[in-house]
Structure 1
């Protein structure tokens, strides 16, 4: 299957979604690092989905300090690999494929690009750590009111609340998935 190259109009849609207003920045500053809580932003255009996941590292790794033991490094590497190689949203028939995927964990000042390689860097630092994952997905068969699912709540039980926001040609919307919920409709 040949993957299409992202179009400039998709970039504009993504920038619109991922560029928060001043009021959103103020609200985000208050709840930017809340254990049990994560955010997933989506920009949908045709069969392309741009997404950004933000979560405290604790929700995904079980710790948020820099990985200091071999066991913690293995957990970090396994989780970061899964996050960058698994579509973080998908259609009921699993039609989404990753076109690009990038990760960032702020405490280690390490960025990972998993398009072509699986290399990881040792991290150092302490304190609160957050993880960001961005993906461009190609999802064949997205309709006007597509149902999407995410494997995140099942894979990461510490992620108790996942706020999902989306923007598409049909409009925008938001939903909070609580523990045990994994599907949502992109209806406005």
Structure 2
């Protein structure tokens, strides 16, 4: 009996490891933010003369759909959004006095033909939805990621970031969860169309 009790923790070890890995995955997924239509995430970091902006949004907020673009209308919509996102100084109202230029930018999305990220995938069988008559619906969840690096000759005037144009350009975006990182600290705020100016 004593041998059995001593062996029990070792027998349960693989189960404990698997459970811990699942819990870690859930925490990691939660920290990345849930895929919520109407809500986007923005990291804005100011370091010396560099302003980094990283926008993550469900494609639904920007394009109006998340399925692969097959029709001409869908392809045109995706192309239009890509062109809008390629102009960060138009979307994010950075003061002209800051004299910022776009030093680097990347745009990624399965809708742009990019491979989806590891955490961005079709729902599995436990996430499929059923309608009233029991028919099963399988949903794709596509994200759009935009990363910008702005070099500013006069970064001292960067006291605020105005998201008004972002909300007007993409009206299906109702909230942006923002992490502001500046020399004086870090702050998390929710921007909305009625509260769209962020201060550092």
TM-score (ref. length: structure 1): 0.70
Q: CA deviation at 1:176?
A: 0.6
Q: Show the counterpart of 1:175.
A: 189
Greater helix content: 2
Alpha-carbon distance in structure 2 between the residues aligned to 1:80 and 1:65: 16
Q: CA deviation at 1:90?
A: 3.5
* Matched-pair contact (CA < 8 Å) for 2:95–2:158: no
- Are 2:69 and 2:111, in contact at CA under 8 Å, matched by a contact in 1? no
Number of residue equivalences: 151
1:32-69 superposed Cα distances (whole Å, 9 cap, x missing partner): 21000000002211121112100000000011111111
What is residue 138 of structure 1 aligned with on the other side?
Answer: 151
Q: Give me the TM-score of the superposition, normalised by structure 2.
A: 0.66
2:169 aligned residue: 155
Cα 1:166–1:22, aligned 2, differ >3 Å: closer, same or farther?
Answer: farther
**In the alignment, which of 100, 104, 109 is matched to residue 104 of structure 2?**
100
Gaps of 5+ in 2: 1-23, 116-138
Alignment of 1:1-188 (within 5 A): 25-28=28-31, 31-87=33-89, 88-93=91-96, 95-106=99-110, 109-110=113-114, 127-143=140-156, 146-150=159-163, 151-186=165-200
Gaps of 5+ in 1: 1-20, 112-125
How far, CA to CA, are the matches of 2:148 and 2:75 in structure 1?
A: 23
Runs of 4+ in 1 over 4 A off after TM superposition: 21-24
1:104-135 Cα deviation digits (max 9, x unpaired): 11366517xxxxxxxxxxxxxx7111100011
